[in-house]
Amino acid sequence: MTDLRSQIFAYLPTPTVSAIHLGPLVIHFYALVILIGIFVAVSMGSKRWQRMGGGANDIGDIAVFVVPIGIAGGRLYHVITTPELYFGANGHLLDALKIWKGGLGIWGAVALGLVASFYAHRRLLKRRPELPPFGALADALAPGLVLAQAIGRWGNWFNGELFGRPTTLPWGLEIPPALRPPGYEAFATFHPTFLYESLWCIGIAVVLLVTEHRWKLVNGQVFIFYVGLYTLGRGWIEALRIDDAHHILGLRLNDWVALIVLIGAIVLFRRSRKGASLLD
């Protein structure tokens, strides 16, 4: 009865196809949306960087170096936080390379990507010391990065993964029986947490673009504001998810990470508003 009722209200189906096969070439939609997100981030970041006084090709040159490192960081975070999938008696180490199946932790991607961007910016400064500081580069990239996250979350939809608790709301996500977790076989529709996070990220981008001039955000403040806002959304969205996760004192690991990052962002933002130099 629960299954039938949920199906009546569901309007958002899980795609039955997650890849396109062109002979021996397989194009996974998860990877495709990640690439689209990267394109948006680079294009938007480049235009903003040029308005700040940077070069037309700077962001593209930096992206060639930073993007692979960011993806590696995202995958590394996922592997470290879910080692049972890749190590031990029931693990499959080679699966760590199959990023098209999902599993890119945003915290690892942003952390390693930020370090790589700092290094790439330092190399640019050696040739062109007149360029804006690294804080300006981070600010230029922030709105595009969060839009890339909004786009990338749709990869979870194609993979039928990382959905939330059962719901009969009109926007419930219908999950095929084969993809329903143990104990939830009788439920057909679940909270589409990928959609919630995508919309949250779009909202963050709008807030950043509106407030950066109104509040005169400079020297990394836009980037820090982005990180803080994202953690707020990630916290309540994470609370809806039912996929397996490590828990500490009753909270999912990603909730703790979000809380720690949020506290750090608040401290850094307050310091920066008092004139402290950040991200340089």
Taking only the tens place, the pLDDT of each residue in 47-56 is: 999 999 999 9
pLDDT of residue 251: 87
* Residue found under tokens 């828990």: 247
Residues contacting residue 149 through CB under 8 Å, at least 6 positions apart: 37, 106, 197, 198, 201, 230
pLDDT of residue 277: 60
Averaged pLDDT, 59-74:
95
Tell me what the pLDDT averaged over the chain comes to: 90
Higher per-residue pLDDT: 275 or 146: 146
Band of pLDDT at residue 10, cut at 50, 70 and 90: very low
Dihedral (CA of 43, 143, 149, 272) sign: positive
Residue 86 has pLDDT above 80, yes or no: yes
Beta-bridged to residue 22, according to DSSP, are 25
* C-alpha separations of 187 from 177, 200, 221, 240 in Å: 9, 26, 44, 15
What's the pTM value of the predicted model, to 2 decimals?
Answer: 0.89
Averaged pLDDT, 248-266:
92
Phi, psi torsion values for 152, nearest 5 degrees: -60, -30
Averaged pLDDT, 151-167:
94
pLDDT of residue 88: 78
Band of pLDDT at residue 280, cut at 50, 70 and 90: low
Dihedral (CA of 112, 114, 118, 123) sign: positive
**What span, in angstroms and rounded, lies between the C-alpha atoms of 142 and 4?**
43
CB 253 within 8 A of CB 224: no
Residue 76 has pLDDT above 50, yes or no: yes
Band of pLDDT at residue 7, cut at 50, 70 and 90: very low
> For 20-34, 205-219, 266-280, which range has the lowest pLDDT when averaged over its residues?
266-280
Averaged pLDDT, 132-156:
96
Q: Which two tokens stand for residue 113?
A: 């990507």
Averaged pLDDT, 190-198:
97
Band of pLDDT at residue 85, cut at 50, 70 and 90: confident
Beta-bridged to residue 251, according to DSSP, are 248
pLDDT of residue 151: 97
Where b means 16+ CB within 10 Å and e means fewer, 207-242 reads: ebeeebeeeebbbbbbbbbbbbbbbebbbebbeebb
Calculate helix-pair angle for 221-240, 253-273, nearest 10 degrees: 160
**What span, in angstroms and rounded, lies between the C-alpha atoms of 87 and 132?**
44
CB 238 within 8 A of CB 252: yes
Residue 1 has pLDDT above 70, yes or no: no
Band of pLDDT at residue 84, cut at 50, 70 and 90: confident
pLDDT of residue 81: 86
Averaged pLDDT, 73-96:
87
